[in-house]
Structure 1
Amino acid sequence: MNTVALRPKDRSPLRIKAGKVFFTWKRYFEWLVNAKRYAKTRQRVLLPYSAFSHQTPLMRQLQGVEMSYQYNKIKNLKLATKRLDGIIIQPGETFSYWKLIGNPTKAKGYVEGMVLHYGKFTKGVGGGLCQLSNLIYWMALHTPLTVTERHRHSFDVFPDSNRTQPFGSGATCSYNYLDLQIKNETNVPYQLHVRLTDSQLIGEWRCEEPQLYSYRVCEKEHSFTPAYWGGYIRHNELWRKVYNRQHKLVQEEFITENNAIMMYEPLLEQQSVK
């Protein structure tokens, strides 16, 4: 773990804005010239087999965060899920979160929601869409689909109150340079099905044939390390266990390593999970 690289950098607002413009246009150029085949076909009829499904609550009481941002997040999620629901990823194609959703602007109906910016919560148009990218990434880890681009959260903001997934199992997003991309390297089509109920964001990956394997994601090497500049760094590794149709473990695969700057004392996290 390179603690020097993890140390927060004090950048001016002008430097941050210039960097965002640069990386946004860099992504536009990549979309234009690269040889990837991006998924773009939507199909209302669902593929016959469910590969994996999951759901997350729409409303959470977060300390220091206005509930109005939670309601606005739901409005944003409704717009984004309409762009993604039913998308088919054919063999060889790549799913791009932002290429499909597009720029979440006011003109398209998006409103100000909660955005995590350098470890602090602020408001931004289209805020809250990370809940959807988190869900899609988590579900993809339970399929043979290949995650080719994913960005982790640099800050661990809240203790593990009611956490149901391992730390670091999400995928942050910011239009368009922090993208989530998933490639279908199998020989069968996969389909994303996402929707909202009154209380839940529900997602599912479906496929044309039954999956040969099932997956269970777990964490290893979980630790809290004092940072030389003060505070703590949270670390873990994500692995997944692969089971055949007879429920026998056939393989264990490394997924990724996570390091995040903690915005609270480790003792709070330990108390919350007792």
Structure 2
Amino acid sequence: MTGPAERPKHRSPLRAKAGALYYGTLRRLLWLKMAPTFAKERRAEDMPYEHFAHATPLLRRLRDVDMALQHNKVENLKLAVKRLDGVVIRPGETFSYWYLIGKPSRRKGYREGMVLRNGKVTSGVGGGLCQLSNLIYWMALHTPLTVTERHRHGYDVFPDSGRTQPFGSGATCAYPYGDLTLRNDTDETFQLRLRVGPENLEGAFLGDQPPVFRYEIVERDHEMRGEFWGGYTRRNKLFRLVCDLDGKPLYEEQVAENQAVMMYSPLLEEAK
């Protein structure tokens, strides 16, 4: 693993706004350049073969977090899902999360939802859309699609509580500069299906060809480390095991290395 982590930097609101403007401009210029390669077509009919499906709970009780923010998150997810459901990713095309969704704004109907900023829970218009980018990233790791851009949270805000996926297996998002992009380097076509159900956010990657491999994501080198500046960090590496359809491992590859500043005491269980 990497060496000691630097003390978290707290930037002034002015500097943060200037940085967002600068990197946002770079992002929009990149979109102009890459526009011909982006996946844009949406198809209402399901492709015939399911490659991977997953679902995550819409509501979760978190200490000191107003449930109204989570109910607003559900409404935000419904708006974003309408922009992504059914999108087709052809060979050579790139899926861009924010290019397809666009800027979340009040004018479009987005509400105040939960946002993590500098390790603190706050609210913001369009808050909660990270749950959708997390789901898409996790599903993409179980397909032949290539993840070309993914961002991770710099802070680990909540202790594990019923965690079913390894730490650091999500993809945070921040419009427009913190994007999630997937490239189709295969000769197959894939389709993303999404739905906001009664209790869960549901998704699946479908294809025009049947799966050839099975994928498993495993965590290694997990640790919680005390840093010289007095805080704690949490670290791990994620690997993808590529198996045949009978589950026999063929090879493995590292897909992520995570490091986050912990905002709670190490090994502390979340109160029920």
TM-score bucket (shorter structure): over 0.9
Output one character per residue of 1:83-141: Cα deviation in whole Å (capped at 9) or x when no partner: 00000000000000000000000010001100000000111000000000000000000
Question: 2:4 is aligned with what amino acid?
Answer: T
CA contact (8 A) 2:10 2:118 kept: no
CA contact (8 A) 2:139 2:205 kept: yes
Question: 1:177 is aligned with what amino acid?
Answer: Y
The equivalent residue for 1:188 is: 188
Aligned residues: percent identity?
Answer: 56
Q: State the TM-score, normalizing by the size of structure 1.
A: 0.96
Q: For the residues of structure 2 that align with 1:130 and 1:203, how far apart are their CA atoms?
A: 14
Moved more, 185-194 or 26-35: 26-35
The equivalent residue for 1:13 is: 13
- CA shift, 1:2, in A, is 4.4
The equivalent residue for 2:200 is: 200
Secondary structure of the corresponding residue to residue 100 of structure 1: helix
CA contact (8 A) 1:36 1:94 kept: no
Aligned residue pair count: 270
Structure 1's unaligned 5+ residue stretches are none
Change (3 A) 1:35 1:175: closer
Q: For the residues of structure 2 that align with 1:227 and 1:76, how far apart are their CA atoms?
A: 37
Secondary structure of the corresponding residue to residue 116 of structure 1: strand
Q: For the residues of structure 2 that align with 1:33 and 1:243, how far apart are their CA atoms?
A: 37
- CA shift, 1:10, in A, is 2.2
Question: 1:102 is aligned with what amino acid?
Answer: G
The equivalent residue for 2:25 is: 25
The answer to whether 1:75 aligns with 2:75 is yes
Question: 1:39 is aligned with what amino acid?
Answer: A
The answer to whether 1:246 aligns with 2:250 is no
Structure 2's unaligned 5+ residue stretches are none
Question: 1:244 is aligned with what amino acid?
Answer: D
Q: For the residues of structure 1 that align with 2:7 and 2:29, how far apart are their CA atoms?
A: 30
- CA shift, 1:248, in A, is 1.1
Q: For the residues of structure 2 that align with 1:193 and 1:35, how far apart are their CA atoms?
A: 22
Moved more, 79-88 or 238-247: 238-247
The equivalent residue for 1:3 is: 4
Output one character per residue of 1:44-65: Cα deviation in whole Å (capped at 9) or x when no partner: 0010000000000000001111
- CA shift, 1:155, in A, is 0.4
Q: For the residues of structure 1 that align with 2:203 and 2:12, how far apart are their CA atoms?
A: 38
Output one character per residue of 1:33-81: Cα deviation in whole Å (capped at 9) or x when no partner: 2476000000000100000000000000011110000000000000000
- CA shift, 1:160, in A, is 0.7
The answer to whether 1:138 aligns with 2:120 is no
Q: For the residues of structure 2 that align with 1:245 and 1:17, how far apart are their CA atoms?
A: 49
Secondary structure of the corresponding residue to residue 55 of structure 2: strand
Across the aligned residues of Structure 1 and Structure 2, the Cα RMSD in angstroms comes to: 1.3
- CA shift, 1:247, in A, is 2.2
Secondary structure of the corresponding residue to residue 161 of structure 1: coil
- CA shift, 1:19, in A, is 0.6
- CA shift, 1:241, in A, is 1.0
Secondary structure of the corresponding residue to residue 47 of structure 1: coil
Q: State the TM-score, normalizing by the size of structure 2.
A: 0.97
Within-5 A mapping of 1:1-274: 1-4=2-5, 6-34=6-34, 37-269=37-269
